Chain A
Amino acid sequence: MWGLILSLTSPMIGGPALAAPTQTSSTSAPHIGDLYARPAPLIEASANAPIFQRGAPLIWFWPHFDNTDYWITGVAAAVGGASYALQLSSGRRASVLLDDPARDHLRLPKLNQRFLARDVSDVLLSLMTAYPILVDALVITWWHRASPEAAAEMVLIDAQAIAVTVAIQGLTAALVGRERPYGEQCGNELADATRDCEGYNRYRSFFSGHTALSFTIAGLVCSHHTYLPINGDPISDLVPCAGALAAASTIGLLRINGDMHYLSDVLVGAAVGALSGFGVPWLLHYRHDPGFEVRLVPTVGGLAVTGAF
């Protein structure tokens, strides 16, 4: 149950920024609209108190990242890193179910087209990985909304979910040792003495790391925008989530277009990535009862008290 809630958000895109705060009664359940009510200016201008012309702060109501979370993140990162140095198995070329029909239909016909598809998937993945950390956490939450606490928690949760995905994917790829679809071209269309054909990267097809990571990112973006009014209104907060899911799906498709993965690699990658991206934030953080917290927040004309319990 929520106590008094002072809605402290400001719109990110369009619309007037400033309105009177909305308060809910202590007996009513929190409503999603409460989180999106437009705020008043934080502080009035005075000779000694310069106006803070940024968005209203985001308040972190959940338990903070603790030692257990650091251990989980550290161990996952270590396992993920180590797994990329391992080659425990290799040489299995096996397609299952719809892998071959999907490859026949989705693999691009020319080699340079497949290389282009791989490049585009790499660029998209880079942008997706950067978005929740650089844009959501740093620029919007930390800088625009002057909410370093919330920004730090978001970045740590992002790192945790990504580390978990990397650990699961890295270990699975090393243990299964499935050959990538292009492997059958090594020795004819692709020379044996190339980076793609030499080394054990050729045998890391299952499951798709790009797809897993991109769906993890999409899950993180959706989770943060669900529990925190980062962009200030429900529609604006829906857009990054929808965009991230679309981008993740595109990456998965491009990996098949580029002959880097089978359909089953991509589907499993998407499932694992989504589980991590949605599951880790909820299971380890957002589902927890925030407990009773009281905060003082500046408003026009003075201070307000917020409480959550």
Chain B
Amino acid sequence: MLGVPLLLWCLAQPAPLPGQTLFMPPPEPWASGPDRFFLATAVDVGFLYLRPRLSLGYGRPHREWLGFDVNPIGALSGAGAYGGLRIATQFLDIRAGARFFLPFQRSFLAPRESYGRLDVEDRTGPSAKYVTLEVEATSEIPMGPGELQAVFSGSLVKGVPDGYYVFEETIRVVLNPPLVWRLRVGYIFAFGPRAAISFGPVLEYVHLPGRSEEVLRGGFITRARLSEALEVNATFIPIIASPDTIGIQGADFAQLGVRWRWATSY
């Protein structure tokens, strides 16, 4: 995918000439300064989604802070919004909030042992709309030539009528509500000028208590940090094992785009 040509390109870069040092791009105005109240935004745009996030908090924006996040969600599959509390430290980032999502062409599903592609696209049930209450903890710890990344999330899906299952669009699974939790672990190698390019494998485990089933995914994530404000991201984590055979709908192909960050300066 994108990571392979980026990796090849970085490996092919010539060594610096004697006396050369690496260019240090100027930092963003918001990246420096003491802890303070701030307004920040991070906009994710890609193929095909738009997720602008607004944050109001105290601390150093996009680094270590405490506050609130709100963001609308727009994608080809549907629209929604998220709002919640967030605490970010050097190695740990925790958020807790609620997300409402309205799929454009999705219905609640009749219970089955296993779902195929046509089963999740069945439109005989009521049109799906639901609220997901979730807690997510993300950790990035430098280790060796890269960093260890781990994400744990627990979600409660509400608003599903009794006797129906639902395809949760963010976690990309069919679940018997309300509970679902997942753990994602990866090791990300950083390389290139100023270690701006990162690429690495990830493994994800999703547990569906209501169905007594698990989903296992494996893939990779790539990031090119072009500046403190701008980065290019790609995530592709297809299914390895699942009780369902729903193809690409069950994979996490959530990001293929750019993230732009800004915040008020000190």
Contact = CB atoms under 8 A, between A and B. Distances in A.
Interface of A: 11-14, 16-18, 41, 44-45, 50-54, 111-112, 115-116, 119, 122-123, 126-127, 129-131, 134-135, 138-140, 142-143, 190-191, 193-196, 198-199
Contacts of A143: 196, 224, 226-227
The 7 closest A-B pairs by CB, nearest first: A119-B248, A195-B121, A51-B20, A17-B14, A45-B19, A143-B226, A52-B23
Given A127-B256, A134-B257, A194-B118, A51 B22 contact: yes
B191 to A, nearest CB: 14
B257 A115 contact: no
Contacts of A111: 118
B105 A195 contact: yes
Max chain B CB contacts within 10 Å: which of A17, A111, A138, A139? A139
Nearest to B236: A123
B23 A191 contact: no
Interface stretch (B1-9, B144-152, B173-181, B207-215): B1-9
B253 A193 contact: no
B16 A196 contact: no
A134 B6 CA distance: 11
B257 A13 contact: no
B135 to A, nearest CB: 30
Contact of A123 (B9, B13, B248): B248
B44 to A, nearest CB: 13
Given A112-B245, A143-B196, A190-B118, 6 more contacts: A13-B9, A111-B118, A115-B117, A139-B224, A140-B9, A193-B123
A111 B119 CA distance: 13
Nearest to A131: B2
B105 to A, nearest CB: 5
A139 B232 contact: yes
Contacts of A194: 118, 121-123
B24 A50 contact: yes
B79 to A, nearest CB: 14
A112 B117 contact: yes
B266 interface: no
Max chain B CB contacts within 10 Å: which of A45, A50, A53, A199? A53
Contacts of B247: 115-116, 119
Given A119-B248, A134-B232, A193-B124, A127 B2 contact: yes
A17 B21 CA distance: 16
10 contacts: A112-B117, A119-B248, A122-B248, A123-B248, A130-B234, A134-B232, A134-B257, A138-B226, A138-B258, A139-B224
B2 A134 contact: yes
Interface string B218-239: 0000001011001010101000
Contact of B12 (A14, A44, A119, A142): A14
Contacts of A126: 47, 253, 256
Given A116-B247, A139-B226, A191 B118 contact: yes
B193 interface: yes
A138 B23 CA distance: 18
Nearest to B125: A193
B257 A18 contact: no
B231 to A, nearest CB: 9
Contacts of B124: 193
A75 to B, nearest CB: 20
Max chain B CB contacts within 10 Å: which of A116, A138, A143? A143
Contact of B121 (A50, A52, A196): A196
A161 to B, nearest CB: 16
B22 A138 contact: no
A122 B21 CA distance: 43
A41 B17 contact: yes
B193 to A, nearest CB: 6
Interface in B7-37: 8-9, 12-14, 16-17, 19-24
B46 interface: yes
Contacts of A127: 1-2, 256
Interface string B96-129: 0000000001100000000011100111100000
Contacts of B121: 194-196
B21 A50 contact: yes
A54 B23 contact: yes
A134 B20 CA distance: 28
Contacts of B20: 41, 45, 51, 53
Nearest to A10: B14
Contacts of A112: 116-117, 245
Contacts of A142: 226
Contacts of B12: 11-14
A130 B258 CA distance: 10
Max chain A CB contacts within 10 Å: which of B5, B6, B253? B5
Contact of B253 (A16, A54, A123, A195): A123
Interface in B236-258: 236, 245, 247-248, 253, 256-258
B24 A129 contact: no
